[in-house]
Structure 1
Amino acid sequence: MKKDTLTVGFMLFALFFGAGNLIYPPTLGDESGTSYWAAIVGFVLTGVGLPILAVTAISFVKNDARELADRVHPLFGAIFTSVVYLAIGPFFGVPRAATVAFEMSMEPFTSASPFILFLFTTFFFLLVYFISMNPSKMVDRVGQLLTPFLLFAIVILCVGGFMLLNNDVQSPSEKYAESPLFTGFVEGYLTMDAIAALAFGIIVVNAFKDRGITSRNALIQSTLKAGLVAGIGLVSVYASIGWIGTKMGASGNFSNGGDILSSAANTMFGNFGAILLGIIVALACLTTSVGLVVACGQFFHRLTGFSYHWIVALVTIVSYLIANQGLNTIISVSVPVLTFLYPIAIVLILLTFLQPLFDGNAYVYRGAILMTGFISLYDGLTEYGISMPAVTSVMEHLPFFSLGLGWLVPAVLGGLIGWFLKRNPALSYSK
């Protein structure tokens, strides 16, 4: 059983460790400088802690994340979960992984022409489609074959960073000067892992069921252990590649985390470094894309009744078309959507573990999610560049608003209002 836990844990690590996981920690390290350790702790809370909680939360239900969201309302469950799967799947997550894989593994050796991107994504998505068609074998293919190569390449890069990069660590940028912990916390949203975990959770649960584990308590324990295996790997890698970013801060200005890692790899190992980084990125983005396509296929198969194989084909084709629009276009649209979705997902995950305190009453779920959704919708719209001066003047009075956590107190308040209605049914409509 320990072998199964490690295998599934390695698979989960590989599914989580994709495009965002590679490009954001180095940027955090570069910008936070001497405040790095506080910033990376905040990043780990949302980039590792929440995904593990989300995966474990799925082990509490029979099917998928929709059952968690249905506790608010069945209509909310269907809509919110579908939006989450579309966001982490064909609209943002999978295309982003493919384009990051291209820019960091192929572009250094070729031109940046749309034709080369077309050729690369054609091969990339054919491979994703082939692996995704048989999800029962994905654990073995990813957990036993791809992940060890990925980990080995990452270890070489990280060891080189600690031994070969000797630059002084710079002072933090203005962004991280005052509240590095909370800034890192919000930056962890960009990995997409907490909402991706809502999709990956059922893959983990099914993997353990295929290995003969059927009781609820055993599934919860096994899922948590696999999550911890993945979490240890993620924390180790984030801390290491983030530290590389701090060491590269004195080497110049960088456009993104990929640029930082590319420069670091070239500084440490020359051309071999570029090849090594290309292998890391290609494997990381491939495994994440496969996991997301499989999760979308399984979810929409259950939701619509359409053939799993046809849904996988459609998700792959849509991802392929969007990937060829380029990384900048994908990021410009995805960040506002993630800003809206992430707080709702966080509150939903936390309520799953807190529900024994309020007997899982729907009013508590509805109050907390409604208040969270209102604030996160504002945050998402402002990320799109929509100016709302009157609303902003009110929002600025919310606690933690300047830290990007303006939704926190309203979520608690909404939950308390729901709890009060639960205790006073005469004040509320019956279910």
Structure 2
Amino acid sequence: MTSHSDRQVRFRWSRLHRASFLAVSGATAAALIAPPIGAVPAFATDHRGRWAVQDHDGTAGHRAPWRGDLVSSTPLTTLADRADVEAFLRAQSFDAGTVRYGVSTFRLVYRTVDAHGAPTTASGLLAIPENDNGRLRPVLFAHGTQIFKGDAPSTSSDGFLTGPPITFAAAGFAAVAPDYLGLGEGPGPHPWMDVPSETTASLDLLRAARSFLAGRGTQLGRDVLATGFSQGASAALGLGRALHDGADPWFRLGALAPISGGYDFQNAQIPAMLDGELHPKFSVAYTAYLLVAYNRLHHIYDTPAAMFQPPYVDVAELFDGTHQGLEVLNGLPDTLADLLTPQGFALLAHPTGAFAQALTVLDSVCSGWAPAAPFRLYYSPGDEQAANLNSIHCQERFAAGGRRVRLVDLGVNRDYSGFVHEGSELLGTAAIVRWFLTL
């Protein structure tokens, strides 16, 4: 017999992912992960301990001239007037109180670098207001975790993905939402939780959007208002850090507003998953994706059998971008005890070697820099996927570095999926667009 909890999980997967993507939270996405030894990193630490953007040839402070070049643009959807936008947002459970304009969306494909710094392409969504403004302020919204390639802002009609950028565009901003590498129309597997590549993909999308809008006679402003949910919370911080450190001669950091991120894996997120404080099924999904993605980037184990129990030794195949959400969910066990070997548990509980090194970099997203731009951290109490302690530790780390950050309690909204985590995107988007309008 199916329990209420089981029905709720399945409801969440089927409703949240009409295109069947796994929105396993970016709780596990707070990653500033370095490429494998021998690869050229997208980021490196300079002599002052700051993070410097590098291009594919490893030259700090200089980007390859082709990065951000627009490959193609495709018109997607036009919500012609305020009434159309309001109806769309309300149907997706988003707040429509800041709608001022109709909205048009486009898919942009552009040139960027992959997780190892080599040339590649990526795609992303651009949403702009239907008005006559000749200059638009940019908002970047970084989305939460997905595993199916087609479930990305520019290739999916799922309102949970497109609702935030459409909200910002309808309020008068130019909103960009990167698909990240390997999702949407980007080639290869998605390097999950790799904040450096999320950052380069985001920055290069901003460059492509600026070029696209210039061709339409519209200037994209300099000050980027960066926000993101779950996985995208850390991606937004990564972009903010790059802009803060002068990664682009045009764009600057205007404000930061991440929602429900996983900013401290070693001391908050992993312990909460191992101790059963978070939802067990999502903890299984996050843990499997974490180990698979880290092994691709860092080679943290020699054989899957060292980490995963039979019959889950082939679990990496579920995370190749071709499997939709329900298929992945059904292919995973219900508990970590059924997924992991003793060695797998030991590695998570007491990271060593390349895994420990990667997690240390992962957990540095809130330390080592002190943005001067307006900055707020958003969370919902009782989040069952991203432990609230992540946000508390992030606030504390910025404070230790001299930057006091306001931690905003959004309250709880379960209207979309029945889960607090997804509800925080709805609440956070509504709160953040209002805040951005005051800046």
- Structure 1 length normalisation: TM-score? 0.24
With a CA cutoff of 8 Å and minimum separation of 6, indicate the structure with the bigger relative contact order. 1
Greater C-alpha radius of gyration: 1
Q: Which has the larger share of helix? A: 1
